Structure 1
Amino acid sequence: MSVLDESVVFVDIETNGLGYKRGRVIEVAAIRVEASWSEIQSYSSIVNPQTQIPAFITKLTGITSKDLDSAPCFADIADDLYRFLEGAIFIAHSVRFDYSFLKQEFARVGKKFNPRMLCTVKLSQALYPQQQSHKLDSIIGRCDIKVKNRHRAYDDAYAVLRFVEHARKKFSDNVVDSAITSQLKKPTLPKGLSQTVVDSLPQDHGVYIFEDENGSPLYVGKSVNIKKRILSHFRNDHAVATEFKISQLISRINVRPTGGELEALLLESKLIKEMQPLYNRRLRATKTMTLARQSKDSRGYINISIDDISKIQPGSTEDILAVYSNKGRAKESLNQAIKDSRLCPKLMGFEKNSGSCFLFQLRKCDGACIGQEAPQRYNARIIDYFAEKRIESWPFSSPILIEEKNPVGPDTPKAIVVDQWCVIADITQDEECSPSISLYDRAFDIDTYKILSAHLKNKMHLLKIRPISTSQLQIMANS
Structure 2
Amino acid sequence: MSEAPQDENDSLADALLAGLARPIVFVDLETTGSNATEDRITEIGVVEASTAGIERWSVLVDPGLPVPPFISRLTGIEDAMLRGQPTFESLAPALVERLHGKLFVAHNARFDYGFLKNEFRRAGIAFRADTLCTVRLSRALFPSVERHGLDALIARLNLAPEGRHRALADADLLWQFWQKIHTLYPQDLVDAAIKTLVRRASLPAALPEGALDALPSSPGVYLFHGDDDVPLYVGKSINLKQRVAAHFSGDHRLQKDLSISQAIRRIETRETVGELGALLLEAKLVKDLKPTHNRLLKRASGTCAWQWLPGASAPALVKASRRDLSREEHLFGVFASRAKALAFMRHCADEHNLCHATLGLEKAPLSRGRGCFGYQVKRCLGSCAGIETLTDHAARALDALQSSRLARWPHEGPIAIAERDEASGREAWHVIDRWCYIGTCATRDGIASLLADAPDLRPFDADVYGLIAKRLASGQLTWIACDARPSFHLVVQDAPSVNAIVTRSMKRATRHRAIASDQFALTF
The alpha carbon displacement at 1:128 in A equals 2.1
Structure 2: any 5+ residue segments left out of the alignment?
1-14, 488-506, 513-524
Alpha-carbon separation, structure 2, partners of 1:172 and 1:127:
11
Q: CA 1:434–1:322 in structure 2 vs 1: closer, same or farther (change >3 Å)?
A: closer
Superposition TM-score, scaled by structure 2 size = 0.79
Write the deviation string for residues 277-320 of structure 1: whole angstroms up to 9, x where unpaired.
22222625475244323346xxx334312366657535443253
Q: 6, 25, 28: which is aligned to 2:41?
A: 25
In 2, are the aligned partners of 1:311 and 1:444 still within 8 Å (CA)? no
The alpha carbon displacement at 1:8 in A equals 0.9
In 2, are the aligned partners of 1:12 and 1:153 still within 8 Å (CA)? yes
The alpha carbon displacement at 1:142 in A equals 2.1
Alpha-carbon separation, structure 2, partners of 1:309 and 1:475:
24
Q: Which residue of 1 aligns with 2:317?
A: 306
Alpha-carbon separation, structure 1, partners of 2:292 and 2:379:
50
Q: CA 1:366–1:24 in structure 2 vs 1: closer, same or farther (change >3 Å)?
A: closer
The alpha carbon displacement at 1:200 in A equals 0.8
Q: 403, 409, 413: which is aligned to 1:388?
A: 403
In 1, are the aligned partners of 2:381 and 2:388 still within 8 Å (CA)? no
Q: 227, 231, 236: which is aligned to 2:245?
A: 231
Q: Which residue of 2 aligns with 1:323?
A: 334
Higher-Rg structure is: 2
In 2, are the aligned partners of 1:28 and 1:46 still within 8 Å (CA)? yes
Query: 1:194 and 2:227 equivalent?
Result: no
In 1, are the aligned partners of 2:436 and 2:460 still within 8 Å (CA)? yes
Q: CA 1:62–1:374 in structure 2 vs 1: closer, same or farther (change >3 Å)?
A: closer
Query: 1:445 and 2:461 equivalent?
Result: yes
Alpha-carbon separation, structure 2, partners of 1:374 and 1:44:
73
Superposition TM-score, scaled by structure 1 size = 0.85
Query: 1:402 and 2:417 equivalent?
Result: yes
Residue 22 of structure 1 aligns to a residue in which SS? coil
Q: 189, 209, 217: which is aligned to 1:203?
A: 217
Which deviates more, 111-120 or 234-243? 234-243
What is the percent sequence identity of the aligned residues? Answer: 32
Residue 402 of structure 1 aligns to a residue in which SS? strand
Write the deviation string for residues 110-154 of structure 1: whole angstroms up to 9, x where unpaired.
433222211112212222222223222222222222224221212
Matched residue count: 469
Which deviates more, 355-364 or 208-217? 355-364
Alpha-carbon separation, structure 2, partners of 1:70 and 1:286:
55
In 1, are the aligned partners of 2:448 and 2:486 still within 8 Å (CA)? no
Alpha-carbon separation, structure 1, partners of 2:239 and 2:510:
31
The alpha carbon displacement at 1:240 in A equals 2.8
In 2, are the aligned partners of 1:190 and 1:247 still within 8 Å (CA)? yes
In 2, are the aligned partners of 1:11 and 1:29 still within 8 Å (CA)? yes
Q: CA 1:343–1:75 in structure 2 vs 1: closer, same or farther (change >3 Å)?
A: closer
Deviant stretches of 4+, over 6 Å: 359-363, 368-372, 433-436, 473-477
Query: 1:478 and 2:511 equivalent?
Result: yes
Q: Which residue of 1 aligns with 2:497?
A: none
Residue 50 of structure 1 aligns to a residue in which SS? coil
Alpha-carbon separation, structure 1, partners of 2:346 and 2:447:
55
Query: 1:169 and 2:193 equivalent?
Result: no
* Amino acid of the structure 1 residue aligned with 2:47: I
Residue 471 of structure 1 aligns to a residue in which SS? coil
Which deviates more, 102-111 or 6-15? 102-111
The alpha carbon displacement at 1:91 in A equals 0.6
* Amino acid of the structure 2 residue aligned with 1:323: V
Q: 341, 344, 354: which is aligned to 1:333?
A: 344
Q: CA 1:69–1:380 in structure 2 vs 1: closer, same or farther (change >3 Å)?
A: closer
Write the deviation string for residues 416-471 of structure 1: whole angstroms up to 9, x where unpaired.
2212212234324499x99973524412111111111133245x44x431111023
The alpha carbon displacement at 1:209 in A equals 1.4
Alpha-carbon separation, structure 2, partners of 1:221 and 1:246:
13
Alpha-carbon separation, structure 2, partners of 1:263 and 1:95:
36
